[in-house]
Amino acid sequence: MKRIFKKRGFKYLVAFLVPFTILIAMTIKPVITNALGEEILIKTKPFDPRDVFRGDYVQLDYEISEVPLEKLDKEISDMKDKNEDEYEDFTKLRKKDMYAVLKKDNDFYVIDKVTLKKPSKGIYLKGKYRYPIYKEQSKEEDNGKLEIRGIRVDYTLDKYFVPENTGKDLEKAAIKGELVGRIKVYNGYSLLKEVIPIE
C-alpha cells in the first residue's frame, strides 16, 4: 500500500513540476534579456491602415522583416525551390530557425546578412521564414512566372501592447512608418520595450 501511495505521490509531483518548469523557462529569457540585453533601435515600415490598431495592441512592420536575396547566406539561397503552385519559394526553410545578423547604420540597426548558423558574436535576432516576396511585374513583363526578390522573416516583434484607449495615438505614425522600436537583444532573443515616434 505504501508503494502505491509513493508512486501516486511521485506522479503528482511530476505533474506539478513539468508545467512549473515550463513556466519558469518561459520567464527566464525575457528577464535575462531585459537585464543583460543590448538595446537597439529598429525602424518600422508603413503599414496597412486596416490592420494597425487591434484592441489593446498596435500592429507593427519592420524594415528588417523584408530581407533581399543578396542578404541571404549561400546555404539559404541554394534552398530556393518551387511551391505547390509552381512559384519560386523557400519551402525547405519552413520551421527552421534563422538568424538575422544586424549592423549599425547611424542610430539604427539594419540587416547585414541572414544565416541558418547561430552567430558566435555580434547582435543578431532569431526568426522564422514566413513567405517569399515577389518582384512586381508590369503587364508587359507578366509571363505567368513570379520571381523572388526576397523573403519575409518573423521575429515576433510585431505587436506592441498599450494601455486601453491609447493605441489610437500611435496609429497615424504606424501607418506612415514613423515609429521606431526600442528593442533589447540577448543571444538572439529579442524583447520589444517601447515604440517611439520618429522626431
Q: How does pLDDT run across 8-40, given as a tens digit for each residue?
A: 555 655 565 556 555 555 567 778 887 888 999
The pLDDT of residue 25 is: 58
Total length of the chain: 199
Helix, strand, coil percent values for the chain (each to nearest 5): 30, 40, 35
Phi/psi-derived region of residue 97, left when phi > 0, alpha when psi is between -120 and 50, beta in every other case: beta
Please determine, for residue 173, whether its predicted confidence score (pLDDT) is greater than 90. no
Phi then psi for residue 25, to 5 deg, are -60, -35
Model confidence pLDDT, tens digit, residues 50-94:
555 555 677 888 999 999 999 999 999 999 888 877 788 898 998
Which CA distances in Å does 23 have to 19, 76, 148, 161, 168?
A: 6, 34, 40, 21, 33
Strands 88-89 and 66-68: unpaired
Please indicate, yes or no, whether the overall pTM of this predicted structure exceeds 0.75: yes
User: What is the C-alpha to C-alpha distance for residues 127 and 111, in angstroms, rounded to an integer?
Assistant: 13
